[in-house]
Amino acid sequence: MKNVLYIFVIIIGIAAALVVSVLWVDFFLRIFIVPTENPVNVLVLGLDKDISGTRRTDVILVASLDLKTKKMMMSSIPRDLIVDGKKINAFYQTEGIEEFKKRIENLTGLDIKRYVIVDYDIFKFLGDELGPIEVFVDRPMHYVDSAQNLEIDFSPGYYKMKGKELLAYLRFRKTAEGDIGRLDKQRVIIEKLAQKALSKNVFSLTELYKEIRQRTEFNIEIGEIVYIFSKIKTDFSIESVSFPFYIGQDGNLYIEESKMDAYKDSFATRSKKIEEKYRYYVINNSENRSYAMVSRIEEVFKSNGYSPNKIFYEGVDVDFKKNTALILRKNDDLKTYVEQMISKIGTVTPWDILFVEDRLDYITKYLAVIGELTKTGRQVIFPIDFIIILKEDLI
C-alpha cells in the first residue's frame, strides 16, 4: 500500500537528480508555463497479475500533498471493501481508470486529477537493481498461490533480500487483518530502496528512471514531478488516515458510515480525525503470578481506557530486566501512543520503549518471546503492533 506510494517518491527523487542533466529545459518550462495545483491529490494503484483475463487492483492508495505545508495526508482503501454489492477492486477492471477515480473521489471527498498505476513486478526489478535490502521479518510468513506462481516462506529473523524474495515479502497479506496490516513494514522497505536509488550517480539514475517509466503509468509530467520535489525537499512529513470499515458477519469489509464525515474532514482540514486502532499484547513476566495480580493488570488497563488484545498472565521464559515496550512497526504515531499509554498506567521504575529492529539484542528477545508463545499453543494473531512486558508491579 504505502509501497506503491514510495515508488512515486522514488520517481520524484530520481527526477530531482536528473534536473542537472537533459531534463532541465522541461523543468523550467513546467515551472513557468504549467503550474501545479495545490494540494496535489494522487490516486495510486498497484496491480496484480493478469489471471484468466482478470486484472484487479492489489493496492488502492490516496495521497493528498500540500505544497505549502509540505505535509502529505495518505490513506489506504481496503481492496476487498464492498461497494455497490462488489469488492471495490473489481471496478477498475470493468470501468477503467477515470470512472474508478470518481468512485474514490466520492469516498474521500477529494478532487483527484493525478494517478499512478504500478505493476507489482516493478518491485522485483528494483530489488534486483538496488538490492540486497536488509529486512526484519517479525512473524512466520508461509503461503503458496500456484495460480500466481507465488511462494512465500519466511521464518522470523533478519534477511538480505533481492528481487524475487523482496516481491514475495511485499505481497504477503495472509494475516488476521489481510491488506490492512502491511503498510508500515512495506514503507520501510521502499524507503531503503529509495535511499539506495538516490545514492547512485546521474547516469545510473537516468537508466533507472527509464525502466521505471516503462513499468508504470501516470499522468504527471516529469517537470511537474521535479517542481513538486523542489517544494517539499525539506521538512516533508506524512500522516496516515485509516479508512473507516467494519467486518460483517459474512466476513466481508463494509464502510463504517458513521465515521465517513470525520474521514473526509481529515483531508479537508489536513488533520487526522479518526483514532488509529492498534493490536497489542501484555505479558506478565513479574514474579507475582497471583490472581490478585491478574485482576490488577486488567483493571489498570481498563480504567485508563485501554483494551489489550490479550493478556498472558503466565509469562514467558525470556529475560527482561525491567518493564519493556517492544514496538514492531517503525511509526512515530505508534510510539507516541505507547508512550502515552505507559504514562497513564505507570510504574515505579523506568521503562524501556524501543523499536525492535533498531536493537539487535532485543530482536533476539522478541523472537524468543514469539517462540515461547507459539510453541505452547497460546493464541497469537499477527500483525502485532507492540508487546508490553511487565517485570514490575503497576502503580
The pLDDT assigned to 21 comes to 41
Strands (E), 227-342: 237-240, 245-247, 253-255, 280-284, 310-312, 324-327
What is the C-alpha separation between 388 and 381, in angstroms, rounded?
A: 15
Query: Within this chain, do residues 297 and 219 fall inside the same structural domain, yes or no?
Result: no
Give tens-digit pLDDT for 350-379: 899 999 988 888 988 998 998 888 776 667
Is 80 exceeded by the pLDDT of residue 97?
yes
Q: Where among 269, 295, 327 does a domain terminate?
A: 269
Q: DSSP secondary-structure letter at 118?
A: E
Most confident of 72-86, 254-268, 333-347: 254-268
Most confident of 45-54, 55-64, 375-384: 55-64
Query: Within this chain, do residues 40 and 154 fall inside the same structural domain, yes or no?
Result: yes
CB atoms within 10 A of CB 139: 19
Residue 72: which domain range? 2-269
Q: Among 149-158, 192-201, 268-277, which is the least confidently predicted range?
A: 192-201
Give the H/E segment covering residue 83: strand 82-83
Residue 225, C-alpha cell as written in the block: 514531478
Residue 233 lies in a domain: yes
What is the C-alpha separation between 251 and 238, in angstroms, rounded?
A: 31
The pLDDT assigned to 12 comes to 55
Residue 31 lies in a domain: yes
What CATH number should be reported for the domain holding residue 302?
Answer: 3.30.70
Q: Where among 230, 246, 269 does a domain terminate?
A: 269
| Number of residues assigned to the chain | 395
Q: How many domains does the chain have?
A: 2
CB atoms within 10 A of CB 316: 21
Mean pLDDT of 291-299: 87
What is the average pLDDT score of the chain?
79
The pLDDT assigned to 232 comes to 73
| 39 contact partners, CB below 8 Å, separation of at least 6 | 64, 65, 66, 67
The pLDDT assigned to 7 comes to 59
The pLDDT assigned to 173 comes to 65
The pLDDT assigned to 110 comes to 96
Signed CA dihedral, 239, 244, 247, 251: sign only: negative
Query: Within this chain, do residues 216 and 311 fall inside the same structural domain, yes or no?
Result: no
Helix axes 183-198, 122-130, angle to 10 degrees: 50
Query: Within this chain, do residues 258 and 291 fall inside the same structural domain, yes or no?
Result: no
Looking up cell 490492512 gives 180
Query: Within this chain, do residues 35 and 80 fall inside the same structural domain, yes or no?
Result: yes
Query: Within this chain, do residues 154 and 295 fall inside the same structural domain, yes or no?
Result: no
Residue 275 lies in a domain: no
Query: Within this chain, do residues 329 and 251 fall inside the same structural domain, yes or no?
Result: no
What is the C-alpha separation between 36 and 348, in angstroms, rounded?
A: 55
Residue 265 lies in a domain: yes
The letter for the amino acid at 324 is T
The pLDDT assigned to 25 comes to 40
The pLDDT assigned to 186 comes to 61
What CATH number should be reported for the domain holding residue 167?
Answer: 3.40.630.190
What is the C-alpha separation between 384 and 18, in angstroms, rounded?
A: 40
Query: Within this chain, do residues 210 and 95 fall inside the same structural domain, yes or no?
Result: yes
Residue 121, C-alpha cell as written in the block: 513486478
Strands (E), 108-208: 114-119, 133-137, 141-145, 150-154, 157-161
Residue 332, C-alpha cell as written in the block: 512515530
Residue 332 lies in a domain: yes
Q: How far apart, in Å, do the first and last CA atoms of the chain sit?
A: 40
Q: Where among 269, 300, 330 does a domain terminate?
A: 269
| Contact (CB, 8 A) for 133 and 166 | yes
The candidate with the shortest Cα–Cα distance to 279, out of 139, 149, 148, 80, is 139
CA distances from 39 to 35, 46, 120, 205 (A): 12, 22, 27, 28
The candidate with the shortest Cα–Cα distance to 367, out of 142, 160, 139, is 139
What is the C-alpha separation between 123 and 128, in angstroms, rounded?
A: 8
Mean pLDDT of 118-143: 82
Query: Within this chain, do residues 28 and 49 fall inside the same structural domain, yes or no?
Result: yes
Give tens-digit pLDDT for 195-208: 677 677 656 766 77
Torsion angle, CA of 118/267/305/317, rounded to 10 degrees? 20
The pLDDT assigned to 324 comes to 95
The candidate with the shortest Cα–Cα distance to 311, out of 390, 228, 367, is 390
Query: Within this chain, do residues 212 and 286 fall inside the same structural domain, yes or no?
Result: no
What is the C-alpha separation between 293 and 311, in angstroms, rounded?
A: 12
| Contact (CB, 8 A) for 387 and 283 | yes
